[in-house]
Amino acid sequence: MVDYTYIWQLPEWPSLQYQEDKLSHLLDKAFLCQSKLLGETKLLNFGIDQQAQMDALIQNAIQTSQIEGEDLNLGSVRSSVAKQLGMGNAGIDARAATVQTDHLVAMLCNATSDLDTPIAIKTLCQWQAALFPAPSVYKEIRIGSLRSESTMQVVSHLNGREVVHYEAPPRSDLDTQLDQFIEWFNSPREKAKDEKQQYRQAIIRAALAHLWLITIHPFADGNGRVSRALTDRALAQADQTSVRFYAVSAAIQNDKKGYYQILENTQKG
């Protein structure tokens, strides 16, 4: 008998399965919350509406970085968001922005724009490159291109002992794996019978996209942030609007330990 260690080693990969009956209650609760949120945003005046969008984008940029242990300067992020949204006259010092925050905010906005445009491997590489506008002084990584031939592992060190939490598919399979994923993500979505069912399908699609891409682990660094950006794109496609008032990073940051535990358990099949 073959001892399968990771989900991508299972014979049925990448056909991801889920139990909708166990998800239905949670999805219905999420649908009610989302409907209430989007309904309230439609009642906002233009200025307040734009401020709410700005606050959500600031939160997204800060929290997607915090998940990776990186704390961004709030003033820099706020300035970059104001410039990106064309709010230069909002009393915010544009000089506070940095190259890093400008590129990150631009990437997050790009991920949820032009929602009918298919993504490509080049798209994901551009998003990853935006996370590293300057080469790291601490480690050498491939920027704007897929990872090298080396084995890709997620490790931690506990009491002087190295613990391997995850090992990604080998580099020799990466292009095929990504092609399959891109084709699936760009494929036409099934028409649901009603709004609630449409929302269920959209959330499940976003979750599967997140798990699938982060499991492939296409880059030397930045896989989590790129996967979260793509998840936000899937959610924006479901909402049929590029204007975002919520992001997946906030939910993950609220229970980061639980998120990583579930992700590790799932990836181990």
The residue type of 63 is: Q
Residues in Cβ contact with 159 at an 8 Å cutoff, skipping those fewer than 6 apart:
none
Q: Which two tokens stand for residue 2?
A: 């073959």
pLDDT at 1: 44
> Residue 40 has which token pair?
């309230």
φ, ψ dihedrals at 67, nearest 5°: -60, -35
Which pLDDT score, from 0 to 100, does residue 21 have? 87
Residue where the block lists tokens 């790009």: 110
From residue 94, how far is each of 51, 55, 66, 77 by CA, in Å? 16, 16, 23, 10
Query: What does the pLDDT read at residue 246?
Result: 79
| Cβ contacts of 160 within 8 Å, gap of 6 or more | none
Residue 165 belongs to what H/E stretch? strand 161-167
pLDDT at residue 160, rounded to an integer: 77
Task: Please state whether beta strands 153-158 and 161-167 pair in parallel, antiparallel, or not at all (unpaired).
Answer: antiparallel
pLDDT lower than 50: segments of the chain = 1
Per CATH, the homologous superfamily of domain 7-267 is Fido-like domain (1.10.3290.10)
Give the pLDDT confidence score for residue 173 in this predicted structure. 92
